[in-house]
Amino acid sequence: MSFNIISDAMAQAASGGGGQPGLESLILPVGLIIMLYFLMIRPQMKRQKEHKKLVEALAKGDEVQTEGGMMGKITNISDDFVTLEIAEGVETKFRRQSIGAVMPKGTLKEI
């Protein structure tokens, strides 16, 4: 003998709003992705473009600073490498991509 007063069909109907999630559930993830793009991805892409332009514009005689902080004058330049004169008669070879900044002319003489 079953003491089930409420039938199964009525119990399921009375459980209420268990419907499909709507657009409200997508707002937070989409908002986070948009914030991630504007706060992290876009500025990084902009820096990469600027660095690429800087590396392509390098010329013999430019005074530069490497990513590691070494400063010198470019004496030789090829597709992948630059040779820097860091002191009189002392030259070192660096990857072209490791150049971090081009310094104003005469910077090395002030040091």
Percent of the chain at pLDDT exceeding 90 = 69
Residues 72-83 have pLDDT tens digits of 999 999 999 999
Which two structure tokens, joined as six digits, stand for 55? Answer: 């590396």
pLDDT at position 17 over 60: no
Whether the full predicted model's pTM is greater than 0.85, yes or no, is no
Residues 45-98 have pLDDT tens digits of 999 999 999 999 999 999 999 999 999 999 999 999 999 999 999 999 999 999
Which of 87-108 are b and which e, b meaning 16 or more Cβ less than 10 Å from the residue's Cβ?
eeeeeeebeeeebeebeeeeee
Which of 55, 65, 110 is CA-nearest to residue 86?
65
Which of 55, 94, 65 is CA-nearest to residue 73?
65
Domain ranges of the chain: 24-57, 59-111
Q: Span 59-111: which CATH code? A: 2.30.30
Which of 72, 99, 100 is CA-nearest to residue 88?
72
